[in-house]
Every structure is written in C-alpha cells, then in structure tokens.
Structure 1
C-alpha cells in the first residue's frame, strides 16, 4: 500500500492534518479578503467558514496523498463587485499563499521556542510537517501558471490588453501546467525552484527568530 503513496505511512497522519489546516485556511483567506473588498460571492456559497468540509476537494486531496500533487475547492470570486478590481484581485490572490506562509512561520516559531522543552515526538513531527508543507504550498501557489494564484496575480498586474490575450490562451496554459507538474519534466522545471526556495525560507525563519529571540 505504501508504494502507492507519495508519503510514508508514518508521515501520513501528519500530512492529512497539515493539509486539512493548510487548505482550509488558504481558501478561507481568499474568501475573507474578497468579502472585505465587497464581494459576497464566497460568503453566499458558504465558503466564508473554517469548516474544512466546505473547502476540501475529495479528488484533489486524494491525489496529493498519492501523487504529491492536488488541490482544494477554489473560492468563487466576482471581480465586478470590487471598487478597485486590480488591487483587490491581487490581494485576494495573495491572501491564500500568505496564509500558508503565516502557518509555516508560526509552526517554526513553536519549534524554535520548544527546543529542549520535551515536546512529544509526534508533536515535533507534526510541526515539522506544518512548516514544510505550508512552505511548499506558499511557493507552489505563487508560480505564474494557471490555475494557480501566482497566475491570477500576474493577470491583475499586466495591462488590460495583455490580460485579454492571457485569457485566450489560459486553457492551454492549464494543460502545460499539468504536463509540467505530473510528468518527469517536473524535476527540470518546478523542482529546482523548490530546491532553492524551501531551504532559503527555512533559513530565513531561523535567522529572524535567532536574531529576535536567540
């Protein structure tokens, strides 16, 4: 059974708990910021909630356990309800990845302050998984490829004429993204980004906490 999973059976409980928290907060953050900027779409559809059931996608969750790649249910956003669609659009898109970054920072902080305190091993494993997977989600979602948040941010930053052209080719971009993400091309495209970004962010956390509290 373990051979069919992207994670070991020992890691699996920590992965499941981390994904439930990470996906739920990610989508809630999108919904909350959209609501604050005047779009009630997500709220009206019951997505302005911390109930994981409303945010988890069964297929996307299973795939991330099996293939290491998956997704949650995207929060619906109607940009026409924003007074400043570009600014609001960027902030709504950023909210999800930033929620993952914040969770990773908090988990790292708990580990930093808990050194030598005798935390149970299972809690240390869970916190380490919280740090690692949330950083992965933070970086992954900022990639400028559809349908990720990074692509939506680019859409709102470029001129309207460019945005229209991007929309025309978006369907092909999603296909390209899937090919890159689930084929051996991953190790030559996305994997190098993680090889640099993940240790750099963790090192950054360590420097900040060590400087402020060391």
Structure 2
C-alpha cells in the first residue's frame, strides 16, 4: 500500500535522523569505552541522543499506522522520513521533552504529528493510531533493559549500564504517561473514538492543556512519590534496580 500511495522521496530516511543516530552511536561507544575524560558528558550526550531517536520513532509509529489506516497525507507532510523538524511543532515534540528530562528525569511525551482523522474509517483504527506511539516506547524500554532481564550484564561497563538503566526509566515513564486518559495525550486518543459526541465536546477545550496539567501534577511531592513508586516497580520487574537508574540519573546531570 505504501508504494502505491506515497512517493519514494516521502519515505526516504532524513539525513537529520541519520545524524542523530550517528551521535547516539558515537556517544554510546564513548560511554562504553570510557573514551571521554568526563563520563557524565558522554552519558548525557548518549542518553539525550537516544531519547530523541525514541521520540522520532514514537511519532513515526503514529504516522505509519495512520498511513495504513487511510491517511495518505502523512507522506507529503514528511512524517515518514523520521525528520523531527517535520513535526507539527518541533518545540513540543523535541525541545520540551529534552528539557523535561534535564529538569526532572521524566520522559514526558511531546506533541504528536497531525493526522487527518476524517480520512480514517473505524474506531479501532483511530485507537490503534493513538496507541502506536506509546507502544513504541514500550518496545524501546524492553530493548534498553534487555541486558538486565536477560541477566547479560557481565562485561558491560558500569557507566554504560547506568546509562541504559536511566534510558529505560525514561521510556517507561513516557509509556505510562502517554497511556494516561488525559485530553491531549495518546491515552485519551485511544478511548476518544468510543466516547459519545457530547462527552467529546465537553472535553475538547481542555485538550491543549493536558500535558501542562500532567507536568504540574508531577511537581506535587505526593503525586511525584506515588508516580515513581509505580515506575520503580515496573523497572524492578524488568530487572533494573533503583540503584542503577539513580546512578544513571546522577551521571546524566554531570554539571551538578
């Protein structure tokens, strides 16, 4: 279907994304080998670049699922190139999520790609398009934590181990937050097709503020404590200890 509805140039991987992958690979190598004089700098660059890669894949998953559900416009918009500069709002999709990581060690979701929902038929398809993004974070979390739950950490340098643990934490927080049924987040997008028109009209004015509402709640100590208890429980289930994630967070904030 893709070849019949989109041009090859609309599906060609962007040099911008290739560059981000290259930075991820080089800084990952520097973290593994201890090449950098300050390991925290290498961890910071590696985790940040890998986090941006996951954001690109998150948005790509939305777009690709929409394409196969009937919205062929995503190709012309550049969403299939994995170029973060093509998203509807680069500030929301890339810059703010990175700032959130630096400020609080939380993988908050970014702004989604614009899907022309009128082209798509069927409630299940609409729900799947919304779910595709956070499911990508779930997959990314499984990959990042694989050495832990596979008990394959022998020979893995400590700095790289801690970086993977922290990156896994970011992916888990992103998945959990994205699946919250809050207007403006993917979790609400999953259930929205099944709501009555009246409920959707009442909720619609709050959609632009959903992400800010979640961010504000997480600054409340009581909410933050409960939230990270849940995240820690999930990470423990994946074999990642609180010690590993905490040290990764400490290395990431090398400037402190």
**Where does structure 1 lack aligned partners over 5 or more consecutive residues?**
1-7, 207-214
Partner of 2:138: 101
Asked if 1:48 is matched to 2:80, the reply is: yes
Asked if 1:204 is matched to 2:237, the reply is: yes
Matched residue SS, 1:48: helix
Asked if 1:154 is matched to 2:191, the reply is: yes
Partner of 1:81: 119
Q: 1:122 to 1:184 in 2, by over 3 A?
A: closer
- Count of residue correspondences: 194
Asked if 1:187 is matched to 2:221, the reply is: yes
Please report how far the alpha carbon of residue 45 of structure 1 lies from its aligned counterpart in structure 2 after TM superposition: 0.4
Partner of 1:210: none
Please report how far the alpha carbon of residue 28 of structure 1 lies from its aligned counterpart in structure 2 after TM superposition: 0.8
Q: Is the 8 A contact 2:71 2:120 kept in 1?
A: yes
**Where does structure 2 lack aligned partners over 5 or more consecutive residues?**
1-39, 240-256
Q: Is the 8 A contact 1:28 1:50 kept in 2?
A: yes
Between the two structures, name the one with larger relative contact order (CA 8 Å, sep ≥ 6).
2
Q: 1:131 aligns with which of 153, 168, 172?
A: 168
For 1:190 and 1:106, locate their aligned partners in 2 and report how far apart those are by CA, in whole Å: 26
Please report how far the alpha carbon of residue 145 of structure 1 lies from its aligned counterpart in structure 2 after TM superposition: 1.7
Asked if 1:145 is matched to 2:173, the reply is: no
TM-score if structure 1 supplies the norm length? 0.76
Q: 1:119 to 1:176 in 2, by over 3 A?
A: closer
Partner of 1:3: none
Q: Is the 8 A contact 1:41 1:76 kept in 2?
A: no
Q: 1:88 to 1:186 in 2, by over 3 A?
A: farther
For 1:190 and 1:78, locate their aligned partners in 2 and report how far apart those are by CA, in whole Å: 35
Which digits, 9 at most, give the CA deviation of each residue in 1:62-90, with x for residues without a partner?
52244336553421111111121x21111
Q: 1:137 to 1:123 in 2, by over 3 A?
A: same
Please report how far the alpha carbon of residue 162 of structure 1 lies from its aligned counterpart in structure 2 after TM superposition: 1.8
Please report how far the alpha carbon of residue 46 of structure 1 lies from its aligned counterpart in structure 2 after TM superposition: 0.4
Partner of 1:24: 56
TM-score if structure 2 supplies the norm length? 0.65
Q: Which runs of 4+ in 1 moved over 4 A?
A: 8-11
Matched residue SS, 2:61: helix
Please report how far the alpha carbon of residue 161 of structure 1 lies from its aligned counterpart in structure 2 after TM superposition: 2.7
Give the alignment's Cα RMSD to 1 decimal: 2.8
For 2:153 and 2:127, locate their aligned partners in 1 and report how far apart those are by CA, in whole Å: 41
